[in-house]
Each structure stands twice: as C-alpha cells, then as structure tokens.
Structure 1
Amino acid sequence: MSYFLPHLHSGWHVDQAILSEQERLVVIRFGRDHDEECIKQDEVLYRIAEKVVNMAVIYLVDIDEVPDFNKMYELYDRTTIMFFYRNKHMMIDLGTGNNNKINWPLEDKQEMIDIIETIFRGARKGKGLVISPKDYSTRHRY
C-alpha cells in the first residue's frame, strides 16, 4: 500500500475522479492494498508519478473497500490498472487479448511511463484503443 498516492474510498469518489479530469489521463490501480503484487505495483506508480504528472493522475482503489466496480470491470485479478480520459475508458492492445486493463504488476518504471504516454497521446487524438509500445503476448514462459 502506498501512502503517497491518493486513495479513493468510495464509488462516488472513483466516479468523480474520472469525471473531473479533463486534460490528463486518469490511471486507477484496482486491487487489495495489502497484496504483495499491489504493493510492487504501487511502488512503481509512486516512482513515476512525478514524471507523468503532466500526462496523468494516478489513484489507488482497494477492491474490498470499494466493491462497486468489481463486476462491471471484472476485477478478479490481484492487481489491475485501468485508464480513463475525459470520462471514457481507454483500451490498450498489449498483445494479451485483454485490451481493457493491465492485470499483472508492471515492475519496469520506463515501460509504465511508455504505456501511459502512448495512451495519453492516443487519447488526445480521439482514439479509444491504442497499441502498446511493447508486445506482452510472450510475457509468460511456458
């Protein structure tokens, strides 16, 4: 759990965060604050927050505290990152088949910055789906 990134404590707060931001991307990490994967992800998000402040605002939501979106966004993974721009859900093709969210901890700061920048640039051009700068289809080695 990151104490340095803002937490949203109700469904209303999540909605307001998404609705009120008009110029930047809204990045929301859904998960359990005490989960090991969430802690790793929060650390990366905290470290990049200053670098992406002109492009994005980052929020954290504990899915146990705010269960309102669990079914709507299918938040069943340990950590999930979703992106919104001007009240629109932004999708990113990561090569995994799930274009709605990132549902694993991205531990590389530069990769996360690149993804946020790619989505931000695409969103400003009016695109609802952008292609990831890196293909994650071979992330798992079987």
Structure 2
Amino acid sequence: MSSCVLTLLTKKKEVDSIIRDTIDKVLVLRFGKASDLVCLQLDDILAKSAREVSKFATVALVDIESEDVQVYVKYFDITLIPSTIFFFNAHHMKMDSGTADHTKWIGAFHRKQDFIDVVEAIYRGAMKGKLIVSCPLPPERIPKFQLIFKDM
C-alpha cells in the first residue's frame, strides 16, 4: 500500500535530486527494505501521514537493498532498519531524542501523531535556523536500541 502512495527511491541520482530539490519543506527519507515487518509498519504510518504533513514535508522511501544507494547507507551508517533521516533545504537535520544517535530516527513511530509531531518540530526548528532540535515525544514513545560498535 505505502509504495503506491510514497515515492520509492532506488538510485543515488534520485536521492541526490530529491535532497537538492526539496525546498522550504522537511524531507523525510525512510531507509529500509520492503520485506521487513517493522519497515512495513513504519511505511503504513508514513503513508497515512503524508497528506497531513504535505504543506511542510515530503516523504520518500529509500530501498537499502539497491546497490546504487549504498553510498548513503554507508555515509549515514544505516545498520539498523528502518532508519529515518530528515533534511531541510539540503541540510541534514538532527534530533536529540535522548538516544546515542542524533543523526537519524531508528525504528518505527508508535502512532501517526508521533510522526507528525516530530516532523513539525523539525520544521519549526529549521525555520529558526537550527540544525538540531529536541524530540517532542515522551521517552516511553521513543524506540530504544543498543549501539554496536564494529572493530573495537
């Protein structure tokens, strides 16, 4: 269902283009696989929210199984999926959610309103010139994960 509503990006050129061309809106890029259950859950929330956030955000899916987008997978250190990355006017937006990684949202949102609240907080912060914003969600609705450091 979500792939019908949301744009699926499988090439580096497509990702470059959408990052560059999304102006005065938050760009939400979900990195994941269509076959993953948690990705499908998140995609459902994103698809249901896309119209409500369309005035201030654009949502797209990036297929990490595509060989052509591996440069982004490596650059953003996508080891856990789904990982959602936010941009505003081609600037990577970060969010302090009390987790070890401020560069991306790892996991699915618990409900549609959580996603809308996060995107709205990023948009408001970006409009004020901030590159990092505080997460508006209570700690119990932020997915917990364990960071694993390779080669240590």
TM-score of the pair, normalised by structure 2:
0.87
Taking only the aligned residue pairs, the percentage that are identical comes to 33
Per the TM alignment, residue 42 of structure 1 is displaced from its structure 2 partner at its CA by 0.2
Unpaired segments ≥5 residues, structure 2:
145-152
Structure 1 spans left out of the alignment, 5+ residues = none
Give 1:53 shift: 0.3
Shift of 1:72: 0.4
The match for 1:69 is 72
State the AA in 2 paired with 1:19: R
Q: Which amino acid aligns with 2:137?
A: K
The equivalent residue for 1:14 is 15
More helix by share: 2
> Which of residues 111, 126, 129 in structure 1 aligns to 2:129?
126
CA contact (8 A) 1:40 1:107 kept: no
Q: 1:91 aligns with which of 82, 86, 94?
A: 94
CA distance in 1, matches of 2:139, 2:60: 24
Letter in 2 for 1:14: V
Report SS of the residue matched to 1:112: helix
Change in CA separation of 1:139 and 1:74 when aligned onto 2, cut-off 3 Å: closer
Following the alignment from structure 1 to structure 2, what is the Cα–Cα distance between the partners of residues 30 and 139?
16
- Does the 8 Å contact 1:27/1:57 carry over to 2? yes
- Give CA deviations for 1:36-88 in whole Å, capped at 9, x if unaligned: 11000000000000100001000000101132211100011120000000110
- Kindly tell me: are residues 10 and 139 of structure 1, through their superposed partners in 2, closer, same or farther at Cα, counting changes over 3 Å? closer
Moved over 2 A (4+): 135-140
Match for residue 48 of structure 2? Answer: 47
Once the two structures are TM-superposed, the CA of residue 103 in structure 1 deviates from its matched residue by 0.7
Deviation at 1:139, TM superposition (A): 4.8
State the one-letter code of the partner of 2:2: S
Q: Which moved more, 1:28-37 or 1:63-72?
A: 63-72
- SS of the residue 2:121 aligns to: helix
Question: Deviation of residue 98 (structure 1)?
Answer: 1.0
**Distance of 2:23 and 2:108 partners within structure 1:** 27
**1:113 matched to 2:124:** no
Deviation of residue 2 (structure 1)? Answer: 2.2
Separation of aligned partners in 2, 1:71 and 1:2: 25
- Contact kept in structure 2, 1:29 and 1:82, CA below 8 Å: yes
SS at match of 2:136: coil
Q: What is the RMSD of the two structures over their aligned residues, measured on CA atoms? A: 1.5
Alignment CA distance shift 1:131-1:12 (3 Å): same
